[in-house]
Chain A
């Protein structure tokens, strides 16, 4: 893990609690979520169903409900919950006293770019 490239994206306080912000990257749009307990997660901003922007959904627990057709996606591993099937790629994220870093290393091109 230590030999990953970490990119600073801002501070925890930039994201509303139970909300999300986006980070634009060459590999596509990333959604960074902050949950009620101040946990932070980064996932590709694209629903496994029909590519809905997950960053626009309602955040609850460690999940988000997609704004287009209400799929519930786990922020921890990106998988669709309940009867729905599919997953959104998640990204490693480091939180150093509120300073946030992500790594794009695990995201492969071109599959994850297809959305944009």
Chain B
């Protein structure tokens, strides 16, 4: 019979342990996991980039639901275990679920320390530990305001940086004289403080919090010395405590953490402890690298091996963009210790190495950290450095004879067992072997197979160097395609940063995202203009100079510089009065060609630019509005005659098409959007090759999406079937809004949907009513500002200069 393995806590340590176990001994256990957090396993380290807006939650998921389903693992989300019954060998969660175990792993992580000052329980006082904390911080940061971070350690500084990026005024209150005093010496701390001050983060050292003020929510932080710091948000990041309470109550041996032996076993042989909650040889760890090492040992034990964990030496980096610091080992002064220091003030570089008995004991580096892994490697091995001593501080590349530092040479010079990825303990040799054996060519592949650079990502550059060395010419770094030559950022990053930094004008985007040109180009400006229109429909003032001529003058430019005019004919239905008005306009302005379009309406071609406002004025009198035949926006909704006339029609396809067109006209989209509604599966309106299509059936409305019939031909995918017209409208509109918010500029729906996955679209629009309603409402809100007929605006004088010459010179001056 398979044994039952129960895991309490679904954090990073057990996540890694599971991967190792499933690889070593698949099917050995029936696995049940309880997690107090209501979600899957994600990369906690990456919460800081999520807070700063540089990543999204979706980017940091380690194991998604599919992973647990695939491996047959039961994951109870939002289920906090409250008792362990060691006699009965069961665990029970707050929500009543009980599970029996043969082997139990406790991986409850740590709890943030909340200093017990008055007001610490006020709303707006947060810890920094999980996604909920980040979501709440982002919510508060949306209104700007002031944030006070208590604690100037790694977590506190990352929180401060993130909140600053979100537009808050940020102060850090730190008890000790220098920040990050456990990882940095005062010199490095000084450089870091300066870098943070440059980012407008105020650092108050030797500052002790006395109380937090506020009535309904937090208002200020009061310091010992009487200073009062106004605050809309207080983040406490003063330390963590291993979560060992549950184990203690179960009668297990607990010190600071849950005491384990070299096999990660607690005082009960059937129970193991792993991660930050465990205490091994008197040490509790708070970084993933050592936890991953012990996770490997535990996986080995659980699959019958005899692996042993002997403790770890740790190194630290700070995830603040543009700040490079590295610290490892022990760097305090002491008897028999010597130090080597290098400073370069103008370059902001500081390096210090501490030696004892010719071995590296610790290293602190700021500014230039390229040699961090090299020092750390020698530190862990206890390498005798007496031979290198004279040039040690100049780094590895210098050893060859003082050549300028070439990162490729540096990596080439590393021995095979040198560690590249500290988080996951992956050596250079392992990466090289994986690339060779499995024929890996992309960074994503290397991450998937070796885990190298898959956690905090700070070794990505090194991993790429290893790939370049191994693959030679065959290596093509998977760079994100930049929007255009004016920036190195891709479309997705630009959109995310616009949101994260609250950038509301094109100059603001270009300034903040460091555009390389003064005012962009014809590629990036229309894209930025769209992203801003979409993000801030109410506040953003559309920049006409950043729109392609067709969208600027609301007509299609022709090869001879004249324009075509296509008015809306809702759902392709017209009337004698409309046709008469068109006929009159054609005669009056001597329009050379009138054509029925492929989109079920009428095109007047060859109109002179100067005549456009007058043509529109006449069309407007007959009730016509712009057909937006020129727009990256809603084009046409084609319909068939449907149940109103057709002997096969099942629903009023014409009526629904008109209703959708009247609801959606005027909306701007990443690329053009064309719809169709057919009254039965004979599909006379050709719904199955449209961006969004509907096929009416007896039981309701089958919604399609992601079709194409232009440069590419592609049949649609089915989104799902709904019963009523109202539901059909809601689904179609929500899908369009999801596309508006997520696609890259000029990316048609079929390309976007393929890129993000058809199932993802279905999951959000069909299965998640809340998401769907959110999209729907955001679309409706944006329509308040978009549904203005551009033709009538111009008839009444807007952008007059577009249609008139600036001057007319009758005769060349002599």
Chain A residues close to B by CB (< 8 Å):
5, 7-10, 14-19, 21-27, 29, 32, 35-37, 50-53, 56-61, 63, 65, 67-68, 70, 72, 104
A14, B809: Cβ atoms closer than 8 Å: no
Chain B residues close to A by CB (< 8 Å):
517-522, 525-526, 544-549, 552-553, 557, 559, 561, 801, 805-814
B557, A67: Cβ atoms closer than 8 Å: yes
With the chains together, A95 CA to B439 CA distance in Å?
64
With the chains together, A10 CA to B561 CA distance in Å?
24
Given contacts A17-B545, A50-B559, 10 further A-B contacts (CB under 8 A): A15-B801, A18-B519, A19-B545, A21-B801, A21-B805, A56-B552, A57-B549, A67-B557, A72-B522, A104-B813
With the chains together, A37 CA to B806 CA distance in Å?
20
B801, A23: Cβ atoms closer than 8 Å: no
CB distance from A32 to the nearest CB of B (A): 6
In the assembled complex, 8 residue pairs joining A and B whose CB atoms fall closer than 8 Å, in A order, are A8-B807, A23-B806, A24-B808, A56-B557, A58-B525, A60-B517, A60-B522, A104-B812
A contact residues around B548 at 8 Å (CB): 58, 67
Residue from A8, A14, A37 in contact with B518 in the complex, judged by beta carbons closer than 8 Å: A37
A26, B810: Cβ atoms closer than 8 Å: yes
B contact residues around A16 at 8 Å (CB): 544-545, 801
A10, B518: Cβ atoms closer than 8 Å: no
A contact residues around B814 at 8 Å (CB): 5
With the chains together, A9 CA to B810 CA distance in Å?
12
B contact residues around A67 at 8 Å (CB): 548-549, 557
Residue from A19, A21, A72, A104 in contact with B809 in the complex, judged by beta carbons closer than 8 Å: A104
CB distance from A102 to the nearest CB of B (A): 9
A23, B809: Cβ atoms closer than 8 Å: yes
With the chains together, A51 CA to B553 CA distance in Å?
19
A contact residues around B557 at 8 Å (CB): 53, 56, 67-68
With the chains together, A10 CA to B808 CA distance in Å?
10
Q: Which residue of A lies closest to B517 (CB)?
A: A61
Q: A10-B806, A18-B545, A59-B545 are in contact. Are A70 and B522 (CB under 8 A)?
A: yes
Q: Which residue of B lies closest to A6 (CB)?
A: B813
With the chains together, A23 CA to B553 CA distance in Å?
18
With the chains together, A68 CA to B809 CA distance in Å?
27
With the chains together, A18 CA to B544 CA distance in Å?
10
CB distance from A49 to the nearest CB of B (A): 11
A7, B813: Cβ atoms closer than 8 Å: yes
With the chains together, A7 CA to B517 CA distance in Å?
34
Residue from A14, A61, A68 in contact with B519 in the complex, judged by beta carbons closer than 8 Å: A61
B contact residues around A36 at 8 Å (CB): 518-519
Q: Which residue of A lies closest to B550 (CB)?
A: A67
B809, A24: Cβ atoms closer than 8 Å: yes
With the chains together, A7 CA to B809 CA distance in Å?
8
Residue from A15, A18, A57, A61 in contact with B806 in the complex, judged by beta carbons closer than 8 Å: A15
Residue picked from A21, A51, A63, most chain B C-beta under 10 Å: A21
With the chains together, A32 CA to B801 CA distance in Å?
13
With the chains together, A7 CA to B806 CA distance in Å?
13
CB distance from B758 to the nearest CB of A (A): 32
A25, B806: Cβ atoms closer than 8 Å: no
B549, A56: Cβ atoms closer than 8 Å: yes
B contact residues around A37 at 8 Å (CB): 518
A contact residues around B561 at 8 Å (CB): 51-53, 56
CB distance from B435 to the nearest CB of A (A): 37
With the chains together, A86 CA to B160 CA distance in Å?
54
